[in-house]
Amino acid sequence: MDKELLYKKCVSFHGHECGGLLIGFRAALLAMELLDITAPAKDEETVCIAENDACGVDAVQALLGCTAGKGNLIIERRGKQAFTFFNRINGRSCRLVLKERAFASREEKKNFMRTAAGKEIFDVQEAAATPPPQAEIYRSQKCAACQEMTAEPWLRVRNGRLLCISCFEKGL
């Protein structure tokens, strides 16, 4: 698929064009190139840890098939335009950090982001971590206070009662 069609796919998924979406689009394209990713993940074969919860994350979802529901999109709200990608099939990984650049206008920035080589846009670094474990399916139990089913890892014990985190934090 050509770059313009891929970008249109991202815009359609996100709902509009914007600078943030373009950052994620270019990060996803560079990750595809560096990690030899040829198709969106059907399961968890590609993983992204995004250090922001901004518009660019939608491009990663649209192009790479990374989603919170599959457990292969992890949002770490650090306020950085940085993305760590893992290809579980071939074991390759990278961290991409948007380079700081000054532009005379928004149009100049947009043109640069659309046409520059990925390595001109991002610092390519080694991934600092290993990929997270694949998503697990947990048994659920009722919270003793609110009676809502809660996955076991998110239950807390107080006075011998299993409580969801919300009820635990409320002191119930």
pLDDT at 150: 96
In a domain, 75, yes or no: yes
- Say which residues have a Cβ less than 8 Å from residue 67's Cβ, sequence separation at least 6: 61, 73
Number of domains in the chain: 2
Q: Are strands 140-142 and 149-151 parallel, antiparallel or unpaired?
A: antiparallel
71 and 156 share one domain: no
Return d(Cα 114, Cα 128) in angstroms, integer: 28
Which pLDDT score, from 0 to 100, does residue 134 have?
83
Domain identity same for 155 and 108: no
Strands (E), 88-151: 93-98, 122-125, 140-142, 149-151
- Token pair 């891929």 in the structure block, residue: 6
| Coil vs helix vs strand at 158 | strand
Q: The tokens of 83 are what?
A: 């993305």
Residue 66 CA: distances (Å) to CA of 44, 103, 167 = 8, 31, 31
Average pLDDT of each block of 10 consecutive residues along the chain (172 residues)?
A: 91 96 98 96 95 97 95 95 96 96 93 95 90 84 95 94 95 90
Asked if residue 65 and residue 40 are part of one domain, the reply reads yes
Answer yes or no: do 10 and 93 share one domain: yes
Residues 6+ apart with CB under 8 A from 18: 55
> What does the pLDDT read at residue 132?
80
**Residue 130 domain-assigned (yes or no):** no
Q: What is the pLDDT of residue 30?
A: 98
Q: What DSSP string describes 137-155?
A: ---EEE-TTT--EEEGGGE
Do 16 and 96 lie in one domain? The reply is yes
Same-domain check for residues 28 and 107 = yes
Q: Which two tokens stand for residue 76?
A: 């770490």
Question: Is 134 domain-assigned?
Answer: no
Please give the residue range of the domain that contains residue 149.
140-169
Same domain, residue pair 32 and 64: yes
How far is residue 156's CA from residue 121's CA, in Å, rounded to a whole number? Answer: 45
Q: Which residue has the tokens 């509009």?
A: 16
Structure tokens at 160: 């011998």
110 and 144 assigned to the same domain:
no
Q: What pLDDT, on a 0 to 100 scale, did the predictor assign at position 1?
A: 64
10 and 74 housed in the same domain: yes
Same domain? For 101 and 40 the reply is yes
| pLDDT for 125 | 95
Q: Tell me the CATH number at 78.
A: 3.30.1330.130
Residue 132 in domain: no
